[in-house]
Every structure is written in structure tokens, then in C-alpha cells.
Amino acid sequence: MRTIPTTLAVVLASLLVLAGCGRARYPSYYTLNLPPAPDPIAEEKIATSIAVRQFQSPGYLRQGPIVYRATPEQIGFYEYHRWAADPRVLVTNAVVDHLRASGHFSSVSPYDGHGDMDYIFSGKLEKLEEIDNDEGVKVEVAMSAQITRATTGATVWSNAVSEVAAVPRHNVPGVVSQMNRAMEVAINKLLSSVPDRPSNN
């Protein structure tokens, strides 16, 4: 009498496992597709070098999932929508390219802790997130940076910028597309005030 209920339970359990397998989800991966910097400006008599440290960021931006905020105090993550590459690396590479193109320095390279450079560029990616509120869906990119003299540690330049953009299509690809545009604008704004000849003081 107990054989039928036991068999039925096994069959039902198997069906549930198979049904769960049919609903398996896999992450979607995204990247920032920043345009290349323009060709370097040809200038003469420039003999200053600069090394760019990898950008820093809050810990939650380094975990991989794309971030959203429902309130200023609450941070959420898209479980199945992730960055394919660390945004800090992408931003650092973009800054290196833009500084090379500016013509302000004779040599621009990623910082490796070695070498004889005149200046060190240090930056922080403060925000890269979706913002949800009564005004709709937006994205915000914020970053700050400074240039210090390698020999003294003195700060010769600093800047901080924030860029907010509305998201016309409220889906993750639309959010990432606006993040990409906001990031491009933010990088250009951040570097726009880098002096042609940093102070030696």
C-alpha cells in the first residue's frame, strides 16, 4: 500500500528538478565602450612624464554586478547583469589615452611603482550607478583625481566631476548605454582643466 505513494513522491520530485533546470538563468555581461582618444597633439620642448595609478572605487563597485539605488541610502545589485571587465581598469586606460592625446606630457604610462616620472596621476571612481526615484530613471557617474609631484608628493592639480543622464529606455542595456555616455562626458570634464605645464611648486 505504501509503494504507490513513495513512487509518486519520487516522480514529483524528479519533475520539480527538471522544471527547475528549465528555468536556469545565466548572467548577461556588459562593458563600457568608450571612444578612442584623438590623435596626440604635436608640441615641442615638452620634457615632463606622468604615470597614472589604477583608479580606486568604493568596494561595492568592485563586486561585478551593475548597481542601482532605489533611495540615497539603499544600494541594490542586478544579480544577472554584470560588468565583463572592472570599470576601474577601463577608466584608467581611457585616462592614459586622453593624457597622451593632450600633448601636455612627453611620456604617459600606467603606474607600476617603478621608473623615473615627474608626476603621478591618482583618481577615484566615486559613482557608477542607476538612480531610481519619482523623477524617473537616471544614471550618475562621479569621479575625482589629482596630480602630485613624484619627488615631493605635493599636489599640483585636482578636480572632481559628476555627470547625470536620463535613461529613455528603462532596461539594463539602456542603462549601460547611458552610463557609457555619461562616463565619456565625465572623463572629458575631469581632464579639461589639466594644465599645459603643471606647477613645479
Strand (E) or helix (H) holding 189: helix 172-191
pLDDT at 21: 52
pLDDT number for residue 135:
84
* Residue 56 DSSP symbol: B
DSSP 172-183: HHHHHHHHHHHH
Segment 121-168, tens digit of pLDDT:
999 999 999 999 888 999 999 999 999 999 999 999 999 999 999 999
pTM of the model: 0.83
- For the chain, the helix, strand and coil percentages under 3-state DSSP, each to the nearest 5: 30, 35, 35
Q: What is the pLDDT of residues 72-124, one digit of tens each?
A: 899 999 999 999 999 999 999 999 999 999 988 999 999 988 778 999 999 99
Domains and CATH numbers, the chain: 28-191 (3.40.50.10610)
> Please, is 136 exposed, middle or buried when counting C-beta atoms within 10 Å of its C-beta (0-12, 13-18, 19+)?
exposed
